[in-house]
Amino acid sequence: MTRESPPYLAGLEDILVGQPEDFVLTIRLNRPKARNALRTQLLKELADVLAQASNDDDVRCVLLTGGEKVFAAGADITEMKDKSPVDVINDPRGHYWAAIRDFAKPIVGAVNGFCLGGGNELAMHCDILFAGNTAQFGQPEINLGIIPGAGGTQRLTQMVGKSKAMRMVLSGEFMSATEAEKAGLIAEVCEPELTIDKALTLAKKIAKKPPLAARLAKESVLNAADTLLSDGIKAERKSFATLFASSDKQEGVSAFMEKRKPTFKGH
Q: How many CA atoms lie within 13 A of 217 on its CB side?
A: 13
Quick one: 49 or 124, whose CB is closer to ligand CAA?
124
Contact status, residue 33 vs residue 42, Cβ threshold 8 Å? no
Contact string (CB under 6 A) for ligand CAA, positions 11-50, x = contact: -----------------------xx-x-------------
Q: Does 151 bind ligand CAA (CB under 6 A)?
A: no
Distance (Å, whole) CA 22 – CA 1: 6
* DSSP-assigned letters across all residues of 98-164: HHHHH--S-EEEEE-SEEETHHHHHHHHSSEEEEETT-EEE-GGGGGT----SSHHHHHHHHH-HHH
Q: Does 236 bind ligand CAA (CB under 6 A)?
A: no
Distance (Å, whole) CA 266 – CA 37: 27
Q: Stretches 6-14, 74-82, 156-164, 188-196: which one binds ligand CAA (CB under 6 A)?
A: 74-82
Q: Does 140 bind ligand CAA (CB under 6 A)?
A: yes
Quick one: 78 or 247, whose CB is closer to ligand CAA?
78
Distance (Å, whole) CA 102 – CA 51: 10
Quick one: 46 or 77, whose CB is closer to ligand CAA?
77
CB of 218 to ligand CAA, least distance (A): 24
**For ligand CAA, which residue of 25, 50, 70, 129 counts as binding (CB under 6 A)?**
70
Catalytic residue ranges = 75, 118, 121, 141
